[in-house]
Chains A and B, each alone.
Chain A
Amino acid sequence: MAYSLKDKTAIAGIGLTPFSKKSGVSELSLAAQCIVAACEDAGIDPGAVDGMVTYTLDNSEEVDVARAIGANDLTYFSRVHYGGGAAVGTVLQAAMAVATGQAETVVCYRAMNGRSGKRMGQGISGQIINSGLIHYSWYMAYGMLIPGSWIAMIANKYMQEYGVTREDLGRVAISQRNYAQANPRAYGYGKPLSMEEYLASPPIASPLCLYDFCQETDGGCAVIVTSAERARDLRKSPAVIRGISQASTRGQEEMTSFYREELTSLPEMELAGQRAYAMAGLEAKDIDAACLYDAFSSEVIMQLESFGFCGQGEGKDMVLDGALDIDGRLPNNTHGGLLSEAYIHGMNNIAEGVRLVRGDSTSQPAKAVEHVLVSSGVGVPTGALILGRD
């Protein structure tokens, strides 16, 4: 029987820098600060860190980060590609490294001056090397340059197929903005959003408008992965990694999987979910809360279907029923998410998943939260993570 990662490892600490539109410091500084904060949260000396995983997009080199934080000798380091699709993948790399003895204390980090520095929303410029360059050339020449344009193409088809309206997307954005009112870290804190304001927001890439887009942010977020056994002896109660998988499915492109027969589902997300459920020995009904990747509002509705919380085309009905709200079936992105807290490429959604399991979210549901599902980027090779209370 294949080796299972179930319950072998845990997230023992989470750390964040403040989120802003202009950090005034380098990305390396943000990386070092969020990692030290994560170590502090776990009760681990940064000098114990012996493994690092980040995104290929991250600009801070592992060895530079290691010197900055005074890390231990590193015996494991790797990176995961595909933008926000890397989020859960970094945790998977770390969990495998810990479970196989390659390292004991692995930090996963993503730190970016995503607003004041290179903005993701500015899209591609032709300055890409290798096969990715050829891939994006089919879109660049036509002016399809930003992530929102690629996501909009799928969102429009999906919404037409299932009669999803702008109001349905608005309910997702507003639910998350409501959560942000309790979270002082969040961009949306103190900025409530009404349906009228949502519907009046300027179009960007139809059917998506301003409030369907996430918040370009300066900031960093890190999580510490170690063995579940060791995590139990540390400062905070562990968020045990019960199930985890990466997934990329047939016909996958980076952001532009437009050539599959069906465009109205997310097969890579379905595969990641099936595998994470199988490892954890759980089903959708066992998941109490979620942090579904939300660079764009439409993605949340589609993922409700991908992960089996409802049937195909029924995501909008779940949202209408208030499922995503704090007293709903599946409180989602209770920190505000990428839409209303910060866009740290999904790493901050993993941190919120840990808080929900610990019971210390700024919007902690009244019900017991045993299992939380966290997903990586939508429209790219991705991943799913199920965290459990110890």
Chain B
Amino acid sequence: MSAPTRIKPPLGPDNAWWWEMAAEGKLGIQRCQGCSRLRHPPRPMCGDCRSIKWEAVEACGRGTICSFTVLTHPQFPGYEYPLIIILVDLEEGTRLTSQLINCDPADVAFGLPVEMVIHTDPDGFNIPVFQLAEAR
């Protein structure tokens, strides 16, 4: 039996494109083609103008930590603990939930600048995560 891996996102018309961009090393944001507003998490209709036309744009990958939690228990196979989960306010204005890597849990704090990096699992799965911007 191969090593356990993280739970893979089920893919449908509303979200597969985001993970396909991740597979190419990009962080995607959905942009409404009716009113040009950005939105995340993706959804099929714009709640502002009700357009179902949208396009994917690539985020610059820079943002700041809006909130975070350090997970220690229970520990699920396929993830490394302690696991730092963060909410990132992207420069583009949307917010997303992600992981902070290469960081001691004691060093994570509100408002710290972070930058996106693509993490590749042993099974080849790509997922956008973040590291502290100073860690460059």
Contacts and interface: CB of A to CB of B under 8 A. Distances in A.
B87 A152 contact: no
Interface string B26-62: 0000000000000011000000000000000000000
A179 B15 CA distance: 47
Contact of B69 (A125, A140, A149, A202): A149
Nearest to B12: A134
A141 B68 contact: no
Nearest to B10: A133
Contacts of A141: 6-9, 127
B67 interface: yes
Contacts of A142: 6, 85, 97-99, 127
B120 interface: no
A156 interface: yes
A366 B17 CA distance: 61
Nearest to B110: A160
A133 B11 CA distance: 9
Interface string A131-150: 10111011111111110010
Contacts of B8: 126, 141
A256 B40 CA distance: 13
Interface residues of B, number: 34
B69 A137 contact: no
Nearest to A152: B69
A96 interface: no
Interface in A235-266: 256, 258-259, 263
A137 B87 contact: no
Interface hub of A125, A137, A140, A149 (most chain B Cβ within 10 A): A137
B67 A205 contact: no
A204 interface: yes
A149 B71 contact: yes
Contacts of B127: 141-142
A203 interface: yes
A254 to B, nearest CB: 12
Contact of B71 (A138, A144, A160, A256): A144
Interface of A: 121-122, 125-126, 131, 133-135, 137-146, 149, 152-154, 156-157, 160, 202-208, 256, 258-259, 263
List 5 tightest A-B contacts by C-beta distance, closest first.
A137-B9, A143-B79, A152-B69, A157-B67, A206-B70
28 contacts: A125-B7, A126-B7, A134-B10, A134-B15, A138-B15, A138-B41, A138-B96, A140-B6, A141-B6, A141-B7, A141-B8, A142-B85, A142-B99, A143-B76, A143-B83, A143-B85, A143-B99, A144-B97, A149-B71, A153-B68, A203-B72, A206-B71, A206-B105, A208-B69, A258-B67, A259-B41, A259-B94, A263-B67
